[in-house]
Amino acid sequence: MFKTDFTEAFGIEHPIVCGGMTGLGTAELISAVAEAGALGFLTALTQPSPEALAKEIARTQTMTDKPFGVNLTILPTIEPVPYDEYRAAIIESGIKIVETAGSSPAPHLPDFKASGVKVIHKAVAVRHAVKAQSLGVDAISIDGFECAGHPGEDDIGGLVLIPAAAAQLTIPIIASGGIATGAGLVAALALGAHAVNMGTRFMATAEAPIHENVKNQIVANSERDTIVVFRQFHNSARVARNAVSEEITEIATRPGATFKDVAHLASGVRGRERVLGAGDTGDGMWWASQAQGLITEIDTCANVVDTIMTSARDIVADRLPRMLA
């Protein structure tokens, strides 16, 4: 067992987190993560309404009595999102841990704090993490360039980003991006983190609510099978490499190209329906990190967590001590 500032503060058995993932953060996966002793987050905006989120929280509570949280991603959208109502649904459902991402969590912190909710904020740069700490969040999840999703525009990998953040933060740090093994956990802890976040690794689990073809593709892919799209639009995003993501990149590099030119290819609905739902891994854009190169099998959440923790303990207790002169 590893005891860190994060496990102590958040009441979690293992320093492993499954952060919010659109379309995946539902009761089946998150309850399994919780039962494995890690911390998982339902994704609020995966649910079509605050009322649906409250029902999904209640459903998860029937599947586990261990801690889990809710991710609230705050982004500008064409259709206004009733964030205040989603926040109220989270609080009224008795959730005590929230992961915020995207824009500043400042508007939501007073209500969360008043209700005894701990807030973890996702950041992609040290300066953003420091700002979030000054606002009063309880922990930072710092995303290195290896991560799936949006790594920011600085291109700083975890080997530098994690200790750089640790040097300026006093609250617990969760290392995110390219982590899928016990060695990755030990490395992150050595660099100053107090836990790790894994998304792609939990996609390749029996409980993940996505098509088996996607899970098998993650296992088959190497660390080279991702691509960064939207760089030209200053909204860089790491996704799985396939015909669609390569076409997006090609179109985006044309003179005068705008996001509208690739919107039909990058559609989140297309990715969820055709890829995650129907299993055609080449017919839509879908998120994946460089950790694909470290994932060799589909397993249960319980076995994934146990394997990582066992490996980490072996490294700390056996391999590293033997290197001491």
Identify the helix (H) or strand (E) that includes residue 141. Answer: strand 139-143
CB 120 within 8 A of CB 97: yes
Long-range CB contacts (< 8 A, 24+ apart) of 25-31? 25/71, 26/56, 26/209, 27/56, 27/59, 27/60, 27/63, 28/63, 28/207, 28/208, 28/209, 29/202, 29/205, 29/207, 29/208, 29/209, 29/301, 30/60, 30/68, 31/60, 31/63, 31/64, 31/68
Residue 76: its pLDDT value, please? 73
Distance separating alpha carbons of residues 169 and 163, to the nearest angstrom: 10
Distance separating alpha carbons of residues 271 and 277, to the nearest angstrom: 8
- Per-residue burial over 52-71, b = 16 or more CB atoms within 10 Å of its CB, e = otherwise: ebbebbeebeeebebbbbbb
Residue 205: its pLDDT value, please? 98
Residue 325: its pLDDT value, please? 77
Residue 59: its pLDDT value, please? 98
Residue 112: name the closest of 85, 87, 132, 130 by CA.
Answer: 87
Residue 242: its pLDDT value, please? 97
**Digitized pLDDT (tens) for each residue of the chain, 325 residues in all:** 899 999 999 999 999 999 999 989 999 999 999 999 999 999 999 999 999 999 999 999 999 999 999 999 998 776 789 999 999 999 999 999 999 999 999 999 999 999 999 999 999 999 999 999 999 999 999 999 999 999 999 999 999 999 999 999 999 999 999 999 999 999 999 999 999 999 999 999 999 999 999 999 999 999 999 999 999 999 999 999 999 999 999 999 999 999 999 999 999 899 999 999 999 999 999 999 999 999 999 999 999 999 999 999 999 999 999 998 7
CB 273 within 8 A of CB 262: no
DSSP 239: E
Identify the helix (H) or strand (E) that includes residue 88. Answer: helix 83-92
